[in-house]
């Protein structure tokens, strides 16, 4: 991850109930970066869309 990306370690549940691991926030691109279990690549969504579709798991 580049310097523009704030590292995070949080868990969220998507709209289907699948838990994802949020690993960063890209301030410049205004997007959330996360990993899905069993998928080797980072995924990303615009922050506003992520807020609508994901809920934090405590």
Q: Average pLDDT of the chain?
A: 95
Q: Are 24 and 6 in contact (CB under 8 A)?
A: yes
pLDDT tens profile 19-51: 999 999 999 999 999 999 999 999 999 999 999
Of residues 18, 19, 23, the one with CA closest to residue 8: 23
Would you say residue 7 has pLDDT above 60? yes
pLDDT at 5: 93
Residue 43 to residue 20: CA distance in whole angstroms: 10
Q: Are 27 and 19 in contact (CB under 8 A)?
A: no
3-state helix, strand, coil in the chain (%, to 5): 10, 50, 35
How do the domains of the chain map onto residue ranges? Answer: 5-57
Residue 42 to residue 8: CA distance in whole angstroms: 13
Assigned CATH class of 5-57: mainly beta
Could you tell me the pTM of the whole model?
0.89
pLDDT at 58: 84
pLDDT at 38: 96
């Amino acid at each position: 991850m580049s310097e523009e990306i704030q590292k995070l370690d949080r868990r969220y549940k998507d709209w289907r109930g699948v838990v994802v691991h949020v690993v960063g926030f890209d301030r410049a691109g205004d997007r959330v970066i996360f990993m899905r279990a069993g998928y080797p690549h980072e995924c990303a969504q615009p922050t506003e869309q992520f807020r609508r579709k994901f809920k934090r798991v405590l």
